[in-house]
Amino acid sequence: MSDSPSDTPGPILITVKPKGTIVIHGPARIEDLEGNLLTIPTFKQPGVIKLCGCGRSANKPFCDGSHKKGEE
């Protein structure tokens, strides 16, 4: 087996948005402090996980868009 670029996955891209959302592009396991695997909700984009960075989400640690409330 070779270590060609097609055999080696690249790094997972994590983007921190100004409003607090932390976006993970690619597969990831999300666990709580006890090591229990959390069920990742379905988001609009397959393969993208959004974590709450503002603390307002009712579905922590996942983002539910609560950071958008009160922006208007």
Domain annotation covers residue 55: yes
Domain annotation covers residue 26: yes
Tell me which residue of 46, 49, 39 sits closest to 15, measured CA to CA: 49
Whole-prediction pTM: 0.76
Domain annotation covers residue 1: no
The token pair at 66 is 């609560």
Domain annotation covers residue 27: yes
Domain annotation covers residue 5: no
pLDDT, one tens digit for every residue, the chain (72 residues): 444 445 567 789 999 998 789 999 988 999 999 999 999 988 888 889 999 999 999 999 999 988 888 654
Number of domain units in the chain: 1
Domain annotation covers residue 40: yes
Domain annotation covers residue 21: yes
CA separation for the pair 3, 39 (Å, rounded): 32
**Which residue range is the domain that position 23 belongs to?**
13-72
Domain annotation covers residue 49: yes
Q: Which pLDDT value is given to residue 8?
A: 62
CA separation for the pair 55, 61 (Å, rounded): 9
**Dihedral over Cα of 16, 19, 27, 62: its sign:** positive
